[in-house]
Amino acid sequence: MLRCISCGSEYAIYPLQSTCQKCGGSLEFVANLPKAGQMKFSGAQGFWRYKQLLPPVKHMVSLGEGATPLHKAERLAKTMGLKELYLKDETRNPTNSYRDRAAAFLTSHAIDQGFETLVCATNGNMGASLAAYAARAGLICHALVPKVVDVGKLAQMIAYDAVIEESGDMVDDAIRKAAELAKETGWYQATAELNPLVVEAQKTISYEIVEQFGMPEWVIVSMGSGGSIYSLWKGFRELKQLGLTNSLPQMIGVQTEGCAPIVSKLKEEKASKSCNSSTRALAILVGEPLQSDLAIKAIQESKGLALTVSDGEILAAELLVAKLEGVFAEPASSAAVAALQKLAGNQIANDSSVVCLITGSGLKATDVLQALNKKQKAAGLGLAVSTKQKILKILSEKDTYGYDLWKQLGQIMTRAAVYQHLNELADRGLVVSYEEDGKKFFRVTERGRKVLAAFDEIHLLM
Ligand SMILES: [Zn+2]
């Protein structure tokens, strides 16, 4: 059955619903857990290993999800003075994000219930996962995405043949649309925020962490709608109920400075009205999180905390994790590491054990490339600057000859190519040549200087 987390009202699982009709609280699935001491995990590794702790399903759609590595991040831990840091690497799922667990479960459940079509509103990962699993199971997947979505995730949805529809500026609009669509059409509701079974699927991440390491003291998860941090908390809590562990971790929820409605709610601050949609961490860009009550419950019950990090901190953490540990995380998951950098040695003691959830792959987002591009623009040099412009710039400082120019350009092209550029610049009257010491020197003409100034002007505008 489903139970409201705030008033305790109980509902049958069918029809699936996500919020309490009496108080509006989030509903969660209540499992019939075996008695303490009677549960033992056995069988193959992977998501379906935990089937008996999930809501009952007959079908088991799979692409090999779960059983993701828990890396001991020694080099990264050292930079923060931490004793034990682990990265739960969910990039290693079939479509490179933790949502594959939910997609495996929901497609199985949809087939059990006789559905042929799924609908989901998504910031990217959920849509990519569902599209893949729907393809695997022969179902149709309708994905409603906001205007700005990570390009890699969109590519996945297209490749897996989802029916994609753009819906609003932020995922909040898409979620409203998906709720209406499911009602109108009778399609299976696979939106993570509207289907309480998603939490059940994602709680298996915690089972794996405990099987791989034991119970950590701190677990850090980024928050969009708020369901994911609760999924992990629920998983840990159940292991304690099953008598498989005595302790529980403290849960830390992270949002970006530009969009932090859950953190504001927890701190009882007034959330700013609109979210800044230019944040890099698109996966957690949610203006009105439907599952904020779940996230707050996880943080309060576990005596955890919530905080924000800036876009700059996220990018720095993303590059650091990649450089030191060989794990390329998407910005939303790098936010967890950025948060840890702030907390280590302060709220988190140096001898603590910490797990950061790496939700998805950096290959799905384009933020690193965008950041590099911006940096080069700011310096006034780089990929966007043409070779001819560089040649004019060098010559505007001092006349010189072809071989020296080639060296100053960094020897990244043939010398013949440099002469070709010089000839073309001369044809346009931008440079002239003269002989000196038996060498052919080049000089910028007045016209050349004007063109160069115009280039700089344009660059300032870019
Ligand atoms: Zn209620």
**Domain closes at, from 353, 371, 389:** 371
Phi-psi region of 309 (alpha: psi -120 to 50; beta: other; left: phi over 0): beta
Q: What is the pLDDT of residue 459?
A: 62
Tell me, in angstroms, the distance from the centre of ligand 1 to residue 24's CA: 6
Tell me, in angstroms, the distance from the centre of ligand 1 to residue 30's CA: 14
Tell me, in angstroms, the distance from the centre of ligand 1 to residue 293's CA: 11
280, 424: one domain: no
Q: Bigger pLDDT: 458 or 82?
A: 82
Tell me, in angstroms, the distance from the centre of ligand 1 to residue 300's CA: 18
Tell me, in angstroms, the distance from the centre of ligand 1 to residue 272's CA: 27
Tell me, in angstroms, the distance from the centre of ligand 1 to residue 168's CA: 29
Tell me, in angstroms, the distance from the centre of ligand 1 to residue 121's CA: 24
Q: What is the pLDDT of residue 377?
A: 46
Q: Span 337-346, mean pLDDT? A: 97
Q: What is the pLDDT of residue 384?
A: 42
Report the C-alpha gap between 282 and 255 in whole angstroms. 11
Tell me, in angstroms, the distance from the centre of ligand 1 to residue 26's CA: 7
Q: Span 61-76, mean pLDDT? A: 98
Angstrom distances, CA of residue 164 to CA of 101, 175, 187, 363, 379: 21, 14, 15, 20, 39
Tell me, in angstroms, the distance from the centre of ligand 1 to residue 269's CA: 24
Tell me, in angstroms, the distance from the centre of ligand 1 to residue 290's CA: 14
232, 331: one domain: yes
Q: What is the pLDDT of residue 281?
A: 78
Q: How would residue 460 be classed by pLDDT, with cut points 50, 70 and 90?
A: low
Tell me, in angstroms, the distance from the centre of ligand 1 to residue 4's CA: 5
* Structural domain includes residue 302: yes
* Structural domain includes residue 430: yes
Q: In the numeric block, which tokens belong to residue 136?
A: 């695997």
Q: What is the pLDDT of residue 40?
A: 83
345, 413: one domain: no
Tell me, in angstroms, the distance from the centre of ligand 1 to residue 9's CA: 5
Tell me, in angstroms, the distance from the centre of ligand 1 to residue 207's CA: 28
CB 207 within 8 A of CB 33: no
Per residue in 9-50, pLDDT (tens digit) is 999 987 889 999 999 999 999 988 888 888 888 888 999 999
Tell me, in angstroms, the distance from the centre of ligand 1 to residue 22's CA: 5
Domain containing residue 208: 64-94+198-371
* Structural domain includes residue 232: yes
Domain count of the fold of the chain: 2
Q: How would residue 143 be classed by pLDDT, with cut points 50, 70 and 90?
A: very high
Report the C-alpha gap between 277 and 287 in whole angstroms. 9
367, 241: one domain: yes
89, 213: one domain: yes
338, 310: one domain: yes
- Range in 146-150, 190-194, 317-321, 334-338 with the lowest mean pLDDT: 146-150
Q: How would residue 423 be classed by pLDDT, with cut points 50, 70 and 90?
A: very high
Tell me, in angstroms, the distance from the centre of ligand 1 to residue 411's CA: 69
Tell me, in angstroms, the distance from the centre of ligand 1 to residue 10's CA: 8
Domain CATH number, residue 446: 1.10.10.10
356, 417: one domain: no
* Structural domain includes residue 406: yes
Tell me, in angstroms, the distance from the centre of ligand 1 to residue 209's CA: 31
Q: Bigger pLDDT: 197 or 370?
A: 197
402, 361: one domain: no
* Structural domain includes residue 335: yes
Nearest residue to 110 (alpha-carbon basis) of 119, 101, 99, 100: 119
260, 328: one domain: yes
**Domain closes at, from 371, 388, 413:** 371
Tell me, in angstroms, the distance from the centre of ligand 1 to residue 71's CA: 39
433, 360: one domain: no
* Structural domain includes residue 455: yes
Kindly tell me if the per-residue pLDDT of 369 is higher than 80: no
Q: What is the pLDDT of residue 25?
A: 95
69, 208: one domain: yes
Tell me, in angstroms, the distance from the centre of ligand 1 to residue 27's CA: 8
**Domain closes at, from 345, 371, 397:** 371
Q: In the numeric block, which tokens belong to residue 14?
A: 């069918």
331, 409: one domain: no
* Structural domain includes residue 26: no
Q: Span 222-250, mean pLDDT? A: 96
Report the C-alpha gap between 357 and 308 in whole angstroms. 16
Q: Span 436-446, mean pLDDT? A: 93
Peptide bond into 15 cis (omega under 30): yes
* Structural domain includes residue 52: no
Domain CATH number, residue 209: 3.40.50.1100
